[in-house]
Amino acid sequence: MKLRNFILLLASLVMLASCCHTEERTPQQDRELWVKYLIKVADPVLRNTAEGTLKANMPYEAHPGRDTRAFSYLEAFGRTICGVAPWLESDEDDLGLKQEYREMARKALANAVNPDSPDYMEFSHKRQPLVDAAYLAQGMLRAPKQLWEESPREVRDNLIAALMLTRKIKPGENNWLLFASMVEAAILEFTGECDVDRMLYGVNRFKNDWYKGDSFYGDGKDFHMDYYNSYVIHPMLMDVLKVMKKFNIEGWEFIEVETVRHARYAEILERMVAPDGSYPVLGRSISACRCGTFQVLSQAALLGNLPETVSPGQARSALTAVIDRQLENPDNFDENGWLRIGFAGHQPEMGETYVNTGSLYHCTTAFVALGLPADDPFWTEPYAPWTGRKVWAGEKVAGDHAIKN
Distances 132 to 180, 233, 285, 289 between C-alpha atoms, Å = 10, 14, 15, 14
DSSP states of 134-172: HHHHHHHHH-IIIIIITS-HHHHHHHHHHHHHGGGSPPP
Note down pLDDT in tens along the chain; length 405 residues. 444 444 334 433 333 344 444 568 899 999 999 999 999 999 999 999 999 999 999 999 998 878 899 999 999 999 999 999 999 999 999 989 999 999 999 999 999 999 999 999 999 988 999 999 999 999 999 999 999 999 999 999 999 999 999 999 999 999 999 999 999 999 999 999 999 999 999 999 999 999 999 999 999 999 999 999 999 999 999 999 999 999 999 999 999 999 999 999 999 999 999 999 999 999 999 999 999 999 999 999 999 999 999 999 999 999 999 999 999 999 999 999 999 999 999 999 999 999 999 999 999 999 999 999 999 999 999 999 999 999 999 999 999 999 998
Give me the pLDDT at residue 22, please: 55
Distance CA(389)–CA(281), nearest Å, equals 18
Query: Cβ atoms within 10 A of the Cβ of 58, count?
Result: 22
The three-point CA angle 108-86-150 to 5° equals 50
Taking alpha carbons only, the member of 384, 317, 323 closest to residue 34 is: 323
Distance CA(75)–CA(66), nearest Å, equals 16
Give me the pLDDT at residue 14, please: 38
Give me the pLDDT at residue 9, please: 42
Give me the pLDDT at residue 215, please: 98
Q: What is the pTM of this model?
A: 0.93
The three-point CA angle 169-193-122 to 5° equals 30
Give me the pLDDT at residue 1, please: 40
**3-state SS class at 197:** helix
For each of the domains in the chain, give its residue range(s) and CATH number, in order of start.
24-392 (1.50.10)
